[in-house]
Amino acid sequence: MTKKEVTQLSYEIVGCAIKVHKELGPGLLESVYEQCLKYELIKNGFEVKQQMVVPVIYDLLEMDVNLRVDLLVNETIVVELKAVETILPVHEAQLLTYMKILKKPQGLLINFYSDNITKSKKPFVNEFFSQLPD
C-alpha cells in the first residue's frame, strides 16, 4: 500500500461518514453512527471490522483486557467515532495508541456531534505511514 492509496482510502471513508451524517444529523448515540457507517462502508465495497479486540502485549505477555477499536477499514485505517460536544486530547491519544498497537498507518477521529464532519474530523498518521512508498 502507498501513501497515496491510504490517503485516498481515508478520503472515501470520510465521504461515507458525511453521507451518514447528512442522513441522520447530530444528536444520536455513537453506536448508531457506528452501525450506519459500517453498513455504508460495506455497501461501497470496503472490508470492515467492527469492535475488533486489540491485543495488548506487555513484557511479552498478552494482557486480558477488553480494548476495542470502533472500525478497522481494509486492514489499514483505524476509525474512532465519537458523538460528543468536544473532542478531548484523550480521544486523540486513544486513537494514536490503537494505531501504534495495531501497526496501522492512519487513523480517523470522526465526531458526529457536529454540523460539519469535514471540519470536525481529525486524521492522524504515524511512523508506519512515513515508511510507506509514495
In a domain, 58, yes or no: yes
Mean predicted confidence (pLDDT) in 11-40: 97
In a domain, 76, yes or no: yes
- pLDDT confidence tier of residue 11, bands split at 50, 70 and 90: very high
Q: What is the pTM of this model?
A: 0.94
Q: Tell me the three cell numbers of residue 4.
A: 497515496
Pairing of the two strands 68-73 and 48-53: antiparallel
- pLDDT tens, position by position, 44-54: 999 999 999 98
In a domain, 49, yes or no: yes
**Paired residues of 73 in beta bridges:** 48, 77
67 or 17: whose pLDDT is higher?
17
For residue 55, pLDDT beyond 90: no
Count structural domains, the chain.
1
- pLDDT tens, position by position, 83-119: 999 999 999 999 999 999 999 999 999 999 999 999 9
For residue 66, pLDDT beyond 90: no
Residue 60 identity: L
- If you search the block for the grid coordinates 494482557, which residue do you land on? 63
User: What's 38's domain CATH number?
Assistant: 3.40.1350
Residue numbers of the domain that contains 102: 3-125
Q: Tell me the three cell numbers of residue 122.
A: 481529525
Termini Cα distance of the chain: 9
